Amino acid sequence: MREVESFETSEGRHIYALPIEAFPDFFVNIYVISDGERRFLVDCGSPMEKSNRDLVAALETASERFGEPLSLATMDLIFITHGHTDHFGGLPFVRRHTDAPIGVHVLDRRILSHHEERVIVASKHLQVYLARSGLSQNARQGLMQMYLAPKSMYRSTEVQFELEEGPRAEDGVEIFHVPGHCPGQVCIRVDDILLAADHVLSRITPHQSPESITLNMGLGHYLDSLTKIQPMEGIRLTLGGHENPMEDLFGRVGEIKASHDERLTKVLDLCRSEPQSIAAVSKSLFGDVKGYTVLLALEEAGAHVEYLYQRGELVAGNVEELRDQEEPVIQYQAE
């Protein structure tokens, strides 16, 4: 686990990086933006008690180390970068300590403010996706239980404002809407530092999920969003929602694009030999993974299959089954 750090922008503002354990052995970076008078909390970890304790402890450590009064009570605004539980799940806990207004992009707003409804609707879409992917019923039931478990720990929390594309002159930051990893994913520019959340990470390629499960996700949206920020000028340092800082945003975006190109080529090669279900593609790409990683692998494989299918490079190879069966498993083949 990384230490609490402080980064200074070109205009003399400070960004405090607070690594916390959002889930067992899974770490997330929380940030505080400060100009010495106003302080903005960027994300807040998961609903796990350990995550909440880590957040309070990290703020105390930063306050002692850097000599600035940092606590939940001293926050003036709360920015949520996207609607994934490891980034917003701590809001009910945070709300007990501050009434600072909460902001998120409109496409992720109901995930925070109408969470229980959102989980029910999303789970129905996921169940259909898993059935069509070719996974057995027992495997599907196990994955749905794992999918729903952490989401049941969060309770809907009211949102006070929306993070819209463009400069927020009153706060001195600029918002970039970059859908793909999540519908409402945003990056936040603070002078010459970019808070990239889960849009760009230093080591892994951020997880992708098909748009057939949730609108405004999908690999097509994600690649377009990478293209949007790749030429951004004047960025000296990029700080991700996980992992380490990045000094070369342009180069890292290029590496992520190349990784997806390689994976798309692999999917096409697999589907040239014989028609493949998404479950079969996932196993070929990622092997025999276990636990929650099975769901992540199925979504990642499906995002790439969907991208190729949308562009006509893959087609359904079992059209008669699709016509005659109520819940068919789609077999994809390369054109």
pLDDT tens digits, residue range 181-193? 999 999 999 999 9
Q: Give the mean pLDDT of the chain.
A: 96
Residue 254, pLDDT > 90, answer yes
Does residue 1 register a pLDDT over 80?
no
pLDDT tens figures, 221-237: 999 999 999 989 999 99
> Alpha-carbon distance 60 to 54, whole Å?
10
pLDDT band at 321 (very low <50, low <70, confident <90, very high): confident
> Is 17 strand, coil or helix?
strand
Give SS3 for 192.
coil
Maximum distance among all alpha carbons in the chain? Answer: 69
pLDDT digits (tens, 9 = 90+) for 268-298: 999 998 999 999 999 999 999 998 999 999 9
Least confident of 106-115, 246-255, 278-287, 326-335: 326-335
What would the pLDDT profile of 12-22 be if each residue is shown by its tens digit? 999 999 999 99
User: Residue 325's pLDDT band (boundaries 50, 70, 90)?
Assistant: confident
Q: What is the pLDDT of residue 107?
A: 98
pLDDT bracket for residue 170 (50, 70, 90): very high
Rounded CA Rg of the chain: 21
pLDDT higher at 47 or 335 = 47
Measure the CA dihedral 79/83/85/89, to 10°.
40
- Asked whether the CA dihedral 178, 182, 184, 189 is positive or negative, the reply is negative
Dihedral, CA of residue 39, residue 103, residue 145 and residue 267, to nearest 10: -100
Identify each DSSP E strand in the chain by its residue range.
5-8, 14-23, 26-34, 39-42, 77-79, 102-104, 161-162, 166-168, 173-177, 186-190, 193-197, 237-240, 314-316, 332-334
What are φ and ψ of residue 192, in 5° steps?
-105, 15
Tokens 């996974």 correspond to 135
Cβ count near 327 (within 10 Å): 7
User: How high is the pLDDT of residue 131?
Assistant: 92
DSSP classification of residue 92: H
Predicted structure pTM score: 0.96
**Mean pLDDT across the stretch 62-72?**
97
DSSP string, 43-69: ----SSHHHHHHHHHHHHHHHHHH-S-
The sign of the dihedral angle between the CA atoms of 162, 187, 310, 118 is negative
Query: What are the structure tokens assigned to 210, written together?
Result: 């098909």
Please enumerate, as own/partner, the contacts of 256-261 that have beta carbons within 8 Å and a separation of 24 or more: 256/200, 256/205, 256/206, 256/226, 257/223, 257/226, 259/205, 260/205, 260/219, 260/223, 260/304
Instruction: Tell me the per-residue pLDDT of 116-168, one tens digit each, with 9 for 90 and over.
Output: 999 999 999 999 999 999 998 899 999 999 999 888 899 999 999 999 999 99
Closest CA to 132 of 316, 267, 259, 262: 316
Confidence bin at 38 (pLDDT 50/70/90): very high
The answer to whether the CB of 109 falls within 8 A of the CB of 184 is yes
